[in-house]
Amino acid sequence: MQVWSRKTTMSRRIKRTTSPGDRAKERAKGRDKSRDGDRGKGGSAQRSRKPDERKSGERKSGERKSGDRPFAHRAPGKPPRFAEPRRDRNERPEPAAEKQAAEQPLPTKVQTVVVTTDENGMRVDRFLEARFPGLSFSHIQRIVRKGELRVNGKRADSKDRLEEGQSVRIPPLRLDTPKTSGTLSEAEAKTLQALKDMTLYEDDDVLVLNKPAGLAVQGGSGMTRHVDQMLEVMRDAKGQKPRLVHRIDRETSGCLLIAKTRFAASFLTGAFRHRSARKIYWALVAGVPKPKQGRISTYLAKEESEEDSIMRIAEHGDEGASHAVTYYAVVEASATKLAWVSLKPVTGRTHQLRAHMAHIDHAIVGDPKYFNKENWQLPGGLQNRLHLLARRIVIPHPRGGVIDVSAPLPPHMLQSWNLLGLEADRFDPIENAPEE
C-alpha cells in the first residue's frame, strides 16, 4: 500500500454562462436562431457546457482551462484525460456520420475479426458490446454459453480477457424483436415509473439511474428482475432499447450509466475503455485506515467454490490474475471503530473495492463476502447491509461537455450516518487523488 498526498485545492466545475451584453452583440451580428436556441437549452446541474461556447479569449474569473481534470491537477506535460478536444457546436459530427454509427449493421453470417491494440485486455462480453452496441446482454450470454463464439478456435467465457492479434469467430447476430404495440401493460407501466423514480439525469442520449441496493444490474441464474430487463419497457419503435455501459454489484447502490442510443453506447463504452470516466464510491469500513490516504495496488483473480465465488489477492502471472488499483481517503472517523472512506478505482475489476478494503484489514461494513474481522460486533442501530455507494460519476458527454452526477446516500447508509454523527456534506479529499 502506498501513501498519496496532494496539496491541491478542491476543483470546482463552473457552469458556462453568457452575459446579456454578449447576447446583444451576437444578435446584432445576425447569429441564427438555432444557435440562440441551443444556448437557452444548455446547462443542467449535472452537465457542464463546453468551454469553447464563449468567444475566444473570454474567461470568467477562477474558471479552469479547457481540458483540465475534474478531480486533480495534471502533471506537467501530460495530455488531458479527455483526450479529444472540445468541439465547437459548428464542428459537431455530421448527422450522416452519426446515423452511420447508429445504424452499423449486425453480421448476418459467420465472420472472423482480429483483436486490435485498443481492444487488448478487454473482456469478451465488453468486446462484443463495443463492436455491436445494439446487442442485448442476454443475447451475448447466449452465444457465448452455446459456444457459438470462439477465440482462436476455442470456446470462451464472457469474462475471459482478449489479447491483441487473437481471432474471434462471431456468429450471425440479431437485435431483439421490436415492440408491436404502442401501449404498455399495467406491469410495464409500473416498471417505467420505477425507472423514472430512479432517474438522476436524462437527455436524448444518456440516462443515469440511482440503482437501489438489492436490485441486480443484469440477469443471472434464477434472476427475474434486474435493470437490463426493466429497460425493455423503453424499447423504441425500431427495436432499440437503452444499453448498459458499465455494471455495479447487486448490493451496491448509486450511479448507473445507461446509453439510450447506439451512438452514445459506442462513445461511452470507449470512454470507459480509455479510462476517461471517473467514479467515486463512499463506504463505511471497520476501523480507521492508517495512513488516512493511500493507494492499493494488487492482482486479483477469481476463486470458485461449490457455493460461491470471490476475488482473491493473487500474484503477477497467476492464471486469471488482473492488476487492480484503488485510491482511498478517510473522510471522517467515528472514534476508532468505524470510518467513512471515499474510494476511487483506477481499474474496474469485479468486487475490486470490496476485496481491496478487506485486504488492508478494513472490510466494508455489511459485506457478506469479504468482511473478515473476527470478534467484531456491529454497533447497535446499524443495519447489517453492504455500506457501499457509487456516489459520483464524471464522464465526457457523447455530444460535448461533461456529465457529472452524484447519488444520495441510500436509506440504510443515511441511517448509519445519522446515528454516527457523520456529516454527508463534508469535503471529500479523494477529489485530489492522482489519476493513475
Which residues are catalytic, by number?
A: 249
Helices 124-131 and 137-145: crossing angle, nearest 10°?
130
Buried b (16+ CB within 10 A) or exposed e, 306-328: eeeebbebbeeeeeebbebbbbb
- Phi, psi dihedral angles at 213 (to 5 degrees): -65, 140
Q: What is the Cβ-side half-sphere exposure of residue 420, based on CA atoms within 13 angstroms?
A: 24
- Residue 349 to residue 367: CA distance in whole angstroms: 17
Dist CA 397 CA 203 (whole Å): 10
Query: Which one-letter DSSP state was computed for residue 120?
Result: T
**Residue 237 phi, psi dihedral angles, 5° rounding:** -65, -25
Helix axes 33-41, 20-28, angle to 10 degrees: 160
Q: Are 47 and 403 in contact (CB under 8 A)?
A: yes
Q: Which three cell numbers stand for residue 289?
A: 485506515
Segment holding 113, helix H or strand E: strand 111-114
Using the structure block, give the residue that is written with the C-alpha cell 436524462. Answer: 202
| Cell numbers standing for residue 63 | 474558471
Cα–Cα separations (whole angstroms), residue 42 to 37, 258, 367, 401, 403: 9, 20, 41, 10, 12
Do the Cβ atoms of 263 and 245 come closer than 8 Å?
Answer: no
**What string of DSSP letters covers 139-188?**
HHHHHHHTT-SEETTEE--TTPBP-TT-EEEE----PPPPPS-SSPPHHH
The answer for residues whose C-beta is within 8 angstroms of residue 342's C-beta and 6 or more apart is 280, 281, 282, 283, 328, 329, 331, 391, 428, 429, 430
**Which three three-digit cell numbers place residue 397?**
458527454
The answer to whether 356 touches 347, Cβ cutoff 8 Å, is no
Residue with cell 456529465: 403
Query: CA 181: distance to chain centroid?
Result: 33
